[in-house]
Structure 1
Amino acid sequence: MPELVNHWWITRPKRKLTLLIDILRVFFAVARGEQWHGNRALQRLFEEALEEAYIKRKGDRREGSGSGGRTYASWLQAFGLWFADQQGRVWPTWAGQDLIDASSPGPIMLHQLLAFQYPSVYSRAARVSDRFNGIFPYRLLLQFLADEDLGHRLTHDELGLIIATEMDSISKYDLVKDKILGFRGLDRRIELASAILGDGWERIYGHPSKLRDTAHTMFCHLEFVGLATLVDDGTWALPDDKLYDLNEMLSGHLPPFINLLTTSEEDFQRKFGRGPHHQKDTRNMLGSHTVSAADAEAKRVLWTYYGIVANNPFIPEEAIIDRVSVQTGISMSKIRAILQKVSKTKPSNDEIALRYLELARGGREAAVAFEQATAEIFGPWGLGFESEWIGAHPNHPDVRVLNVAQAPYYAGILDAKAYEGGYDLPRDHERRMYDEYIPAHRHMKRDEHIVPLRWFGYVSSSFGANFDRKLTRIAQRGGVSGFAISADTLLALVQRHKQRPLTEDEFCDLFSVNREVMVDDFSTA
């Protein structure tokens, strides 16, 4: 039997919550109304769906058992987003349903983090030690962040090595706080681990890197709901404007403790997963629209549909159906029939915009999704170009853009960088653009036309100092002008283009400035 986990623990197939709604939609497209536990075929199908949506990296699956799918399902269960009924069938909790119905995710996930407790259905399955029973980890973490004596900040070491290992009772708060203050002068991490955890710490708690990873994951969750921000490597702080709100929240009405010993797993998950908008969950789920487990074709239609609409707020329904047909090989009439049988919600433009901004700061986990979403934004229902995501091919930029609707034909190439702290264009990336990408795409053939490369560009959450100088250097060495544009400015550009379309000359001028494009560059054009 596996050993008990002797510290706070949350599984982390993704450290950030940026893609949580995408994963949740795919999960319910595959598993809603079906028996999950022990159903290896369904678990493998979920894993395949995640890979096809580029949420999970493709690769060899361990023994073909669907273990990757089970990890993601456990992650969703840990936040109270689904439950299994007495027959083991999967259904969304109210919180899960509200998320896939395009409700604002921040308040819902904040409620779920505040309600996250030990023990739970998840922590019992993960074998978290019983000594943590009765605590709410995220509430305690927020209490430490709200503490003026700690400067409203914590490090990975302080959370992972001290709080997560020792905070098994609210009565220990002052003791643990004093320990944090006492060890803030230590510099070397291995010394810190040894000094705090004592001899034999690795045998008791596991390697310190595991504890720091858990800490980083929990901070990322608080960042998603706006209650933590990374101030430097390994140090997180409570945003200045959130202190009053947090104190009000922690002293107000909070989700109650649920006694798992006297509550069935189904009832526990239903209560845990009520979310902020519902007082109780008495739904009869058997009347819900479902797709049979045997109908893998219909499930594929659903997860492909959600994968497409997640990245593009502008694409019309018929174009979605056409694209689903191309990707699955299923006729459009059959796709329409499948979609009519199930309840589905197309995300709103505001939800998609928020998701895109989150992806831009999402790091490696969100890189592919950000690249694909950027391709869609430059595409026919965004800025109006013909665009293609080519980031999966080695030695290629992330996105190729073509203007072939009318002469003069031209092309552009883009790199989309999902960097948490902004993108500063490292020297090797700079070289790759002028030495590899531009020469390889300088002249592209489309039908009978030779399409010249007119510009290159970068899209990210923000850009580092001297970025304009680096763009100019690439333009000089590559012989093609370029630009950079932040994710929020790009969304503003799309809205401007929808109000009054930019001409081809205006686009070329805008994307050839050899600096970062600002809203003022097109707001008065």
Structure 2
Amino acid sequence: MQDYWWVTRPKRKLNPIPEELAAFCSTALGKKWTRNRDSHIEFEIELEQTGTKRVGERRDASGSGGRTHAAMLYSLGLWFEKNETVFLTLAGEAIMQGKSPVPVLKKQVLRFQYPSAYSSSVKVAPRFKIRPFYFLLKLLLDERLLVLSQREIALIVTIQAENESDKCYNEVVEKILQHRSYGDEIFESDYLEKHNASEGNLMDVANTMMNWLDYTQLVYREKGTIGIPDEKRKEVENLVANMPTFIQYPVENDVYQRKYGVDPWHQKDTRNLLNTVAVSSKVIDRNRILRAFFNYSSLKPVRRINAEVVDYICNISGTDPRFTESVLIETYPNGAVGGYLSHYRDMAFQGRDEAVDFEKATTSLFQDIFGYEAIHLGQTGSKSAPDVLLISDEEGYQAIIDNKAYSKYSISGDHHNRMVHNYLENISSYSTCTHPIGYFTYISGGFVPHIDRQIMDEVNASGIHGSGITVSNLIMLIEDHMENPYSHAELRRIFGLDRQIVLSDIHH
């Protein structure tokens, strides 16, 4: 019996889910899964071939690794089994049909609940009747807390938050505040033993849940804590105020999974499973193509399906070029950037660990998505050049991007001088372009509250318009651009607002 919150965690982040789901479809869709060791092993081998799971990681020859990864997909409501046959839920189908995985998995994470078909299978204690991720968001909105540490989630929330009553909520808040004042002495000596838990296990669960919540793009992570960015606060308040009803359980597992696995574009699952297409060799090939494409598109933004993309996918999947091209064009008529953007967002909170990757990814996005000539200048060993230089021959200007991989960036005096005197005044030292400067912008995980004043100081000192934009809002801008493209003149206006760019500035 798990007397605390529990999530399975073969992968602690959700970014690989689309690729894992495609591998699962290739080996298990339309077949029996329960007690079918051959399918479990086949899925495990498929995961190893995609690089999702390390080769030689198998503990035995029973396919237990495959079962663990399948359990994670099941826990997120992406598949179910009925009459000894595996089917995808609507959420699983949406991912496999090329919909952006972020809104799909965001909904699944938030609706994750105890009890459920998954929690009963891993024997989570029946005292828990709660949507854990909604509960965490409610705590983060509380002015008394504002942030939660991994240890607070592990030692207090996962054990004591058993339902969503006001009484339980207030007890959890009080316990966290006591712990901040008095430390571990608030716990009884047999506290963990009484709940059949170890601190290491609870910390692992807390870390995984923080990662899942981070994937929803509703929170930021910093030094072992999570919090809600200012620009996301209204959205989170609205989500918490309008929580969906609990899904009834116990019911038959397939009934539960179909209710839980409804994607953002449907109200309920009304499919007749008898009409589901039988799994043919073409269906298997299609899943192989999509699996290869998920991997490819997580590494670079795909603006459109072209010969380069088709050739790469054919080489990886071993499928017929014409069939590959038709599948990709049918599934991704407008390209695919969702998987890449979720990875890009992660980079903005990694500090120096992924700073160069963050700069290179920004360069790719502004070139491949927005159509600038984009040059990566960062990490040249000189403080006289910004991270990225943009050139727009279309509108006759150049622009400067400075990436900051922080959750709350503040423009220090040194950074102010660098932008004004090195990057803007001396642009000819690193750029041969003769166009005037159209704007400068900072891209960061988040900003301090007084960032507008700091940006305005640079605008006044340089005479050049500028801005700052969070990665979350840049992603919104990109997604909006994919639907209704912005011209370089419009982008110049947005990035030249002389303050932080907010959501209301973005939508056409």
For 2:339, which of 355, 372, 378 is the aligned residue?
Answer: 355
- 1:57 offset after TM fit, Å? 1.9
Superposed, 1:67-216 pairs within 5 Å as: 67-85=64-82, 87-132=83-128, 134-150=129-145, 152-169=146-163, 170=165, 171-186=167-182, 192=184, 195-196=186-187, 198-199=189-190, 201-202=192-193, 204-216=195-207
CA distance in structure 2 between the aligned counterparts of 1:218 and 1:245, rounded to whole angstroms: 20
Q: Which amino acid aligns with 1:356?
A: Y
**Letter aligned with residue 62 of structure 2:** S
Preserved CA contact (<8 Å) 2:41 2:62: yes
Asked if the contact 2:78–2:89 (Cα under 8 Å) also holds between the matched residues in 1, the reply is yes
Map of 2:444 onto structure 1: none
Q: Judging changes above 3 Å, is the alpha-carbon distance between structure 1 residues 237 and 305 closer, same or farther for their aligned structure 2 residues?
A: closer
Three-state SS of the structure 2 residue aligned to 1:205 is coil
Residue deviations 1:149-198, cap 9 Å, x none?
11x111112111111101112231111211111110346xxxx2x64253
Q: Of residues 11, 17, 23 in structure 2, which corresponds to 1:26?
A: 23
C-alpha distance after superposition, 1:414-443 (max 9, x if no partner): xxxx68423258xxxxxxxxxxxxxxxxxx
> For the Cα contact (< 8 Å) 1:34–1:90, is it kept in 2?
yes
Q: In structure 1, how many angstroms separate the alpha carbons of the residues matched to 2:330 and 2:88?
A: 13
For 2:293 and 2:323, locate their aligned partners in 1 and report how far apart those are by CA, in whole Å. Answer: 13
Secondary structure at the aligned position of 1:215 is classed as: helix
Contact 2:115 2:126 in 1 (8 A): yes
Which residue does 2:239 correspond to in 1?
Answer: 249
CA gap 1:31/1:338 in 2 versus in 1, 3 angstroms: farther
CA contact (8 A) 1:121 1:265 kept: yes
Q: Distance in 2 between matches of 1:197 and 1:111?
A: 37
Partner of 2:263: 275
CA contact (8 A) 1:102 1:347 kept: no
Shift of 1:272: 0.8
The CA deviation at 1:131 is 1.1
Separation of aligned partners in 2, 1:510 and 1:423: 13
Which residue number in structure 1 is paired with residue 228 of structure 2? 238
Note closer, same or farther for the CA distance 1:315–1:114 as it changes in structure 2 (3 Å cut).
closer
How far apart are residue 9 of structure 1 and its match?
Answer: 0.7
TM-score normalised by structure 1 residue count: 0.66
Number of residues of Structure 1 aligned to a counterpart in Structure 2: 390
Structure 2 distance, partners of 1:491, 1:341, is 25
Query: Structure 2 CA distance, aligned partners of 1:178 and 1:512?
Result: 50
Separation in 2 of the partners of 1:148 and 1:508? Answer: 41
Read off the aligned partner of 1:421 and give its amino acid letter: Q
Q: Distance in 1 between matches of 2:285 and 2:103?
A: 35
Aligned to 2:279: 291
1:205 Cα deviation after fit: 3.4
Tell me: CA distance 1:295–1:316, structure 2 relative to 1, closer, same or farther (3 Å): closer
Does structure 2 retain, via aligned residues, the 8 Å contact 1:356–1:487? no
Q: Which of residues 491, 495, 499 in structure 1 aligns to 2:365?
A: 491
Q: Provide the C-alpha distance between the structure 1 equivalents of 2:325 and 2:151, rounded to a whole number of angstroms.
A: 48
Q: Which runs of 5+ in 1 are unaligned?
A: 363-417, 426-457, 462-484
Write out per-residue CA displacement over residues 18-57 of structure 1, whole angstroms, 9 at most, x where no aligned residue: 2222222222233222221222222222222222222222
Q: Residue type of the partner of 1:492? A: F
Counterpart AA for 1:257: F
Shift of 1:459: 3.4
Conserved 8 A contact 1:154-1:237: yes
Deviations 1:474-495 (A, max 9, x none): xxxxxxxxxxx34223321345
**Alpha-carbon distance in 2 for matches of 1:345, 1:168:** 42
Structure-2 residue corresponding to 1:66: 63
* Aligned-partner Cα distance in 2 for 1:223–1:247: 16
Instruction: Write the deviation string for residues 201-236 of structure 1: whole angstroms up to 9, x where unpaired.
Output: 2463322121122112112222111222113x2221
**Deviations along 1:432-487, whole A, 9 cap, x unmatched?**
xxxxxxxxxxxxxxxxxxxxxxxxxx8322xxxxxxxxxxxxxxxxxxxxxxx342
Structure-2 change in CA distance of 1:288 and 1:346 (3 Å):
farther
State how far apart, in whole Å, the 2-side matches of 1:424 and 1:338 are. 37
Structure 2 unaligned blocks of 5 or more: 393-397, 399-432, 434-508
Q: Distance between the aligned counterparts of 2:348 and 2:323, measured in 1?
A: 41
1:357 CA drift (Å)? 3.9
Answer whether contact 2:286 2:327 (CA < 8 A) is retained.
no
Instruction: Return the letter of the residue paired with 2:27.
Output: V
Match of 1:460 in 2: 357
With over 3 angstroms needed to count, the CA separation of the structure-2 counterparts of 1:344 and 1:120, relative to structure 1, is: farther
Contact kept in structure 2, 1:23 and 1:55, CA below 8 Å: yes
User: Which has the higher mean CA deviation after the structures are superposed, 301-310 or 508-517?
Assistant: 508-517
RMSD: 3.4
The answer to whether the aligner puts 1:223 opposite 2:214 as a matched pair is: yes
Partner of 1:54: 51
- Residue type matched to 2:58 in 1? R
Question: Conserved in 1, the CA contact under 8 Å of 2:298 and 2:340?
Answer: no
Q: Could you tell me how far 1:322 is from its partner in structure 2?
A: 3.9
Matched residue SS, 1:35: coil
TM-score by length of 2: 0.68
**2:181 partner SS:** coil
Between the aligned partners of 1:130 and 1:260, the Cα distance in structure 2 is 11
1:346 maps onto 2:332 in alignment: yes
